[in-house]
Amino acid sequence: MTKLRVLSVFGTRPEAIKMCPLALSLRERPEFDSRVCVTAQHREMLDSVLETFRIAPDYDLNIMEPEQTLSTITGKILTQLGAVLRDCRPQIVLVHGDTTTTFAAALAAFYEKIPVGHVEAGLRTYDRWSPYPEEMNRSLVGRIAEYHFAPTAQNKANLEREAVGGRIFVTGNTVIDAMRYTVNDAPFACAELNDVDFSRKVVAMTCHRRENYGQPMEDIFSAVADLARAFPEITVVYPVHLSPTVQRAARAHLAAIPNVLLTDPLDAMDMHKLMDRSYMVMTDSGGLQEEAPALGKPVLVLRRETERPEAVAAGTVALAGTQRGDIFALSSALLTDKAKYDAMAHAVNPYGDGQACRRICDALAWGFGLSDRQPEEFRPRQQA
Ligand code: UD1
Ligand code: UDP
């Protein structure tokens, strides 16, 4: 049988966490010749994930520079990826999500007339400025892609409404597959975390989004400082993103507070274990909104909107916005109101069942005529 050559292209931490399990699945299946190209839009944060999943990329564009701009990332990828595509000659290029790597890699593949498969397709806020630039990136990739791997039925409905064309499959999110590798009871690799007392209430937080740079981030960090001072018995653990803008703001507001622990970015295993052992999560991250509900942890989203409404509907995720007073009120209520906490703290899995990678492999095999078995769709189990 002639194998289908698949090139997976990714560049940042979240893309890597969600694409590495897929690259491993593709490698295990006889129908595929799986290759990996990293743009390294992120460097240390990407390498940490590659190490966790033991993936050695076939191509590494190594583009990251300090305080890079959207244009420099896009320009470098467009210029360098064409040569990789001509060397590798894949029959399909897989991209993930909504980063600048996602958009530039999809465009580069289109320029080479290679079909694009979009993993984590169809998430939308329908506000072009929020999240910025991700909403535009994923919408544009939706137009380019010929295979759309939508995590949920709602994501598929968005794509159908936009009449993007191509084939749409509901697969679940590969992040739930990734968690099968990462969550366990072992000690943390990060020594500071082994000193945290998890019998106290621990709040795991992250914050990094570009649209939160400036005043929203100042307000978010002020609210977290207010919370830590008002509740000295809790511990806030915040692994700070390596973006210099985030580092400066986080350290200015939070470094001097004794019950706030600022760490370097964690590897994926530590991050998932941290959430699993925490009381609740506060975040502007996309991935954490999918992971924490699967672990039964309430999530306060530090944004005005979300493209992941499924867990909001299920009651485990609440939008806190970016106003200092609102964030303080909602987070302190979760610390003091047991009924409110219990109503949010139940495990839900609207985003996947750990089989997304298999479904994507099945869909590719079927789409390219290597199998006549039509792939099944992911359907979340009804929550009790
Ligand atoms: C990017 C994505 C965002 C995603 C986020 C995940 C875009 C436009 N944004 O945003 O969608 O949510 O990744 O974390 O694609 N840096 C390092 N080392 C690293 C990683 C980053 O030093 O390993 C620093 C560099 O100075 C870099 C800066 O962080 O210039 C910003 O990185 P960049 O990828 O441009 O933006 P993110 O905010 O990480
Ligand atoms: N994550 C991690 N270490 C950290 C912070 C986050 O491994 O210190 C993981 C997290 O569990 C999730 C992914 O990184 O899988 C989310 O990445 P991020 O928040 O940077 O991006 P987003 O999901 O918002 O695009």
**Where do runs of H (alpha helix) occur along the chain?**
13-28, 44-53, 70-88, 100-111, 134-144, 153-162, 174-182, 191-194, 215-230, 244-254, 268-277, 287-294, 309-313, 324-336, 338-344, 356-367
The pLDDT of residue 383 is above 90: no
Q: pLDDT tens-digit profile of 166-217?
A: 999 999 999 999 999 899 889 999 999 999 999 999 999 999 999 999 999 9
Per-residue pLDDT tens over the stretch 44-90: 999 999 999 999 999 999 999 999 999 999 999 999 999 999 999 99
Residue type, 267: D
| Mutational pocket test of ligand 1: of 15, 42, 101, the residue with most ligand atoms within 8 Å of the beta carbon | 42
Ligand nearest to the CA of 11: 1
The closest residue, in CA terms, to atom 17 on ligand 2 is 14
The kind and range of the H/E element at 380 are: none
| pLDDT > 80? residue 267 | yes
* 55 alpha carbon – ligand 2 mean position (Å): 18
So where are the chain's domains?
4-173+352-367, 186-345
Q: Which ligand is nearest to the CA of 175?
A: 2
Mean of pLDDT values over 149-171: 98
Q: What 8-state DSSP symbol labels residue 299?
A: E
Name the residue of 47, 206, 263, 272 whose CB sits within 8 Å of the most ligand 2 atoms, as the mutation to test its pocket.
206
Contact present, 39 and 99 (Cβ < 8 Å): no
Residue pLDDT, tens place only, 325-363: 999 999 999 999 999 999 999 888 999 999 999 999 999
List pocket residues of ligand 2, CB cut-off 6 Å. 13-14, 17, 206, 208, 239, 265-266, 268, 271-272, 285-288, 291
Cα gap 35→319, rounded to integer Å: 39
Looking at the annotation, which residues are catalytic? 98, 120, 134, 208, 210, 241
pLDDT band for position 301 (50/70/90)?
A: very high
For residue 318, what pLDDT is reported?
97
pLDDT at 384 over 70: no
16 CA from centroid of ligand 2 (Å): 10
- Which amino acid, one-letter code, is at 266? L
Residues having CB within 6 Å of any atom of ligand 1: 12-14, 41-45, 66-68, 70, 99-100, 133-134, 208, 210, 241-244
CA-to-CA separations, 90 to 87, 113, 116, in angstroms, rounded: 9, 11, 10
Main-chain dihedrals φ then ψ at residue 37, nearest 5 degrees: -120, 125
Cβ contact 97:139 at 8 Å:
no
Question: CA-CA-CA-CA torsion for 86, 89, 94, 100, nearest 10 degrees?
Answer: 0
Instruction: State the pTM of this model.
Output: 0.97
- pLDDT tens per residue, range 214-252: 999 999 999 999 999 999 999 999 999 999 999 999 999
Q: What is the pLDDT of residue 347?
A: 84
User: Which ligand approaches the C-alpha of residue 243 most closely?
Assistant: 1
DSSP state letter for 129: T
Cβ atoms 298, 341 nearer than 8 A:
yes
Fold that domain 186-345 belongs to in CATH: Rossmann fold (3.40.50)
Region 158-164: mean pLDDT is 98
Residue 1: pLDDT over 80:
no
Predicted confidence (pLDDT) per residue in 93-123, tens digit: 999 999 999 999 999 999 999 999 999 999 9
* Predicted pLDDT at 213: 95
What integer pLDDT is reported at residue 186 of this predicted model? 93
Residue-wise over 42-68: b if at least 16 C-beta within 10 A, else e?
bbebbbbbbebbebebebbbebbeeee
**Is residue 176 a contact partner of residue 272, using CB atoms and an 8 Å limit?**
no
User: In the structure, what pLDDT confidence band is assigned to residue 381 with cuts at 50, 70 and 90?
Assistant: confident
Q: Check residue 382 and give its pLDDT.
A: 65
> What is the C-alpha to C-alpha distance for residues 101 and 38, in angstroms, rounded to an integer?
9
* Cβ atoms of 13 and 42 closer than 8 Å: yes
Count Cβ neighbours within 10 Å for each residue of 98-113 and write b for 16 or more, e otherwise.
Answer: bbbbbbbbbbbbbeee
User: Residue 268: pLDDT band by 50, 70, 90 thresholds?
Assistant: very high
Q: What CATH number matches the domain at 4-173+352-367, 1.10.357.140, 3.30.70.660, 3.10.20.30, 3.40.50.2000? A: 3.40.50.2000
Q: For residues 94 and 369, what is the distance between their CA atoms, to the nearest angstrom? A: 18
Rounded to the nearest angstrom, the distance between the alpha carbon of 16 and the centre of ligand 1 is 13
Mean pLDDT in residue range 315-331:
97
**Helix, strand, or coil (residue 19):** helix
Do 4-173+352-367 and 186-345 have matching folds? yes
Both tokens of 235, joined, read 């511990």
Q: What is the mean pLDDT of residues 19-30?
A: 98
Q: Which residue has the tokens 């990060």?
A: 190
